[in-house]
Chains A and B, each alone.
Chain A
């Protein structure tokens, strides 16, 4: 039975592998195909050989982790050294094709007059007269020389000739047409009276990787994702290319990018510190009050104070945005009634930050309260009795016993909370969307943007086009910082030691 299940399971997996392999083969994605074949071989080995037994348990989890966490991280690193973004979306091959299709009017070739006809099926026919007086018949994108009296020429008499009014009406249709004589030139409409000769503007020389302007003879060479002339003129569209550390250089040295980035960075750190500081201070205060055995209604207070934590944060943030509403929100209504004027909560940089901290205090203090209550309960009561014997007052007891002992278990959670808030996208995005915007920044940045919401806007929301390369570079900076914080935390909790001794 077990063998049968195993067989069916492996069979299904292999069908999926083969299906994927065929698709990749069809799209000539040979590197991915190679990886797939190696992966499939490994999976089959794990399921067939007894040696692979433990790995069978790890397979599903590792598969999804490698595909959807490890690979995206590696890809992010790659994108951060490219210029991927608006204007550089295409591959080089696609950009070259587009540029080669670009045509330019050959003024010296003169104007071609024309008469247009529609046949019974509604299709268009053209009779062109060249400046030299030659006749050309144009239909379905092709041109042929004709003589008066030809069979094809006389055929035109049976079609309806288009009047000038018809031509004006059909301008859009006509101007989209082109008639190729050979590969190098074609006829296109210049205006309602004439057609003109259009030649390709550029020619791509593959061996030398150069694009030549056929008219002026200028040579364009690929430089950092664009074809560039010696005088620095760039052709658009550009293409996707590895540009080394340029994104990082922009981030740290270009004043218009660095300015907003540094301000966003400073606010991110302030935000994380303020969030942890405020929630911890309030949580600790409430925990100390609630830990008091002489306090009445402890259970009531505890279960009510925990409620904000039970509401999903994305809902709370949206609710608070309603409360903070400048014109209609209840907070400003109360302020107007009591002190006479409201506060521009979401329009002023400072007040927007205050609003964010208040919201995060509401969201986070119950967690800190629970954590502190747990820590307080674990402190041995005899400690305090001994302290009383030595004459310590309650403040001294708190400072020398409660706080240090609590910190042992709470400190790692504070650090975790710091790195969580460092990347707390939803709260920022839902309450202020990073607004109000910073004035004069080259990249979209707001006064309340933290690094991660700034990244999101760079990648997905900029009105001036997206910049995946720069967004990925910022992402790597966030990775480094979060990584460092988490590493410090591992030292605290001894998680690394746990791995080490778990041989």
Chain B
């Protein structure tokens, strides 16, 4: 299909690619530049700021009215806890689906497949009312608590992830656990000591996808969290910048750079694994 290029052939190819490189990079570079521009406004910004300063970054960490650094921390903590619990829960479920034969197994598999049809955020009204009543019994899990939000995320995470993991567990041969059980291991020990270490790649993929998804989630977080110091970055940042581009652009840019950094770094380092997971059906938020 491909042949050596003529001069013209090589020129237009690079021209097209460069066009898209500019398209892809410009917004990113523009924001990085704005974050170092002390003017804190859209007006008169240049790609290379005249007298770069760290004032905007300082504002991110010190502003008391808009504790942006705290929001980033909230997002990271909620993301880490959610992803850890999701990996634990789904690996249990996926192990059962992969290794045990029991009544209701097919129904369960089918249900976990079907549940993906219903994006959880669509039921935001019901979830809000549900969390409200849960909060009356267990105040720690109620409205405007991180624990309550994490609990809601745990429910929504099962479908795709259980399915992804089960597929991977199925490829690990049974004989390994059988020999372990002959040596006296319980099924739980076989799961814990043999399957989990072998399944590390898929555990990492599920963890990362869940982390990125949770980090970017907007609807449920904005419905359930109402006080400024508990916002996640997704909720806080849009309220911060809402229609204030003329007067908050620089601080917003610094917050964007800091907020995007954890995800960009994760993504670039673990691209290969992530892409494998993404192309098997998961969609990044």
The 8 Å CB contact of A61, one of B93, B110, B116, B260, is: B93
Query: Is B23 a contact of A362 with CB atoms below 8 Å?
Result: yes
* Bound-complex Cα distance A53 to B99 (A): 12
From B188, B237, B278, give the contact of A314 (CB < 8 A): B237
Cβ B279 vs Cβ A68 within 8 A: no
Question: Hey, what's the 0/1 contact readout for A482-503 against B, CB within 8 Å counting as 1?
Answer: 1100110010010110011011
For chain A residues 446-499, which have a beta carbon within 8 Å of chain B?
452, 455-456, 459-460, 468, 471-472, 475, 478-479, 482-483, 486-487, 490, 493, 495-496, 499
Contact A60 B219 (CB under 8 A): no
Closest to B223 in A: A460
B48 at interface by CB-CB < 8 Å: no
Contact A58 B96 (CB under 8 A): yes
Tell me how many residues of B have a C-beta within 8 Å of chain A. Answer: 101
B103-122 near A? 1/0 per residue, CB < 8 Å = 00110111011011111111
- Cross-chain contact B152 with A68 (CB below 8 angstroms): yes
With an 8 A cutoff between CB atoms, is A230 at the interface? no
- Residues of chain B lying within 8 A (CB to CB) of residue A297: 14
A308 in the interface, Cβ–Cβ < 8 Å? yes
Once A58-B92, A398-B1, A490-B113 are accepted as A-B contacts, the answer to whether A426 and B285 lie under 8 Å apart by CB is yes
Q: Is A391 an interface residue when CB atoms closer than 8 A count as contact?
A: no
**Given A282-B20, A468-B125, A310–B268 Cβ distance below 8 Å?**
yes
* Bound complex: CA A487 to CA B117 (Å): 8
B130 neighbours in A (Cβ, 8 Å): 67-68, 71-72, 75
| B199 on the A face (CB < 8 A) | no
A282's nearest neighbour on chain B, judged by CB, is: B20
The interface residues of chain B lying within 8 Å CB-to-CB of A478 are: 122
- Do A57 and B95 contact each other (CB < 8 Å), given the known contacts A292-B13, A313-B285? yes
In the complex, what distance in Å separates the CA atom of A295 from the CA atom of B16?
12
Does any Cβ of B come within 8 Å of A267's Cβ?
Answer: no
Residues of B within 8 A of A295 (CB): 5, 10, 13
The 0/1 profile, CB within 8 Å of B marked 1, for residues 9-21 of chain A is: 0000000000110
| Bound form: Cα–Cα A309–B51 in Å | 31
B216 contacts chain A at the CB level, 8 A cutoff: yes
Check B124 for interface membership: any CB of A closer than 8 A. Answer: yes
Q: Is A423 an interface residue (CB 8 A)?
A: yes
Q: A307-B28, A486-B117 are in contact. Are A402 and B1 (CB under 8 A)?
A: yes
User: Is B202 among interface residues, defined by CB-CB distance under 8 A?
Assistant: no
Residues in A whose Cβ lies below 8 Å from that of B184: none
Q: Is the interface of B mostly helix, strand, loop or mixed?
A: helix
Q: Is the CB of B20 within 8 A of A499?
A: no
B100, A472: Cβ atoms under 8 Å? no
Q: Is B158 an interface residue (CB 8 A)?
A: yes
The reply to whether B123 and A413 form a contact with Cβ atoms under 8 Å apart is no
Q: Is B173 an interface residue (CB 8 A)?
A: no
The answer to whether A178 has its CB under 8 Å from any CB of chain B is: no
Q: Which residue in A2, A20, A365 is a CB contact (below 8 Å) of B188?
A: A2
CB distance from A75 to the nearest CB of B (A): 4
In the complex, residue of chain A having the shortest beta-carbon distance to the beta carbon of B282? A416
Q: 9 smallest A-B Cβ distances: which pairs? A: A68-B155, A72-B123, A57-B96, A72-B126, A54-B100, A328-B42, A310-B267, A61-B93, A75-B126
Q: A55-B102, A312-B216, A502-B105 are in contact. List 18 more A-B contacts (CB 8 A).
A: A58-B93, A65-B115, A68-B120, A68-B156, A75-B130, A76-B122, A282-B20, A285-B16, A307-B25, A316-B27, A318-B252, A320-B27, A328-B41, A367-B278, A452-B121, A452-B122, A483-B117, A487-B117
Which of A's residues lie within 8 Å of B, judged by CB? 2, 19-20, 23-24, 53-55, 57-58, 60-62, 64-65, 67-73, 75-76, 79, 282, 285-286, 289-297, 301, 303-316, 318-323, 325, 328-330, 362, 365-367, 370-371, 374, 384, 394, 397-398, 402, 412-413, 416-417, 420, 423, 425-426, 429-430, 452, 455-456, 459-460, 468, 471-472, 475, 478-479, 482-483, 486-487, 490, 493, 495-496, 499-500, 502-503
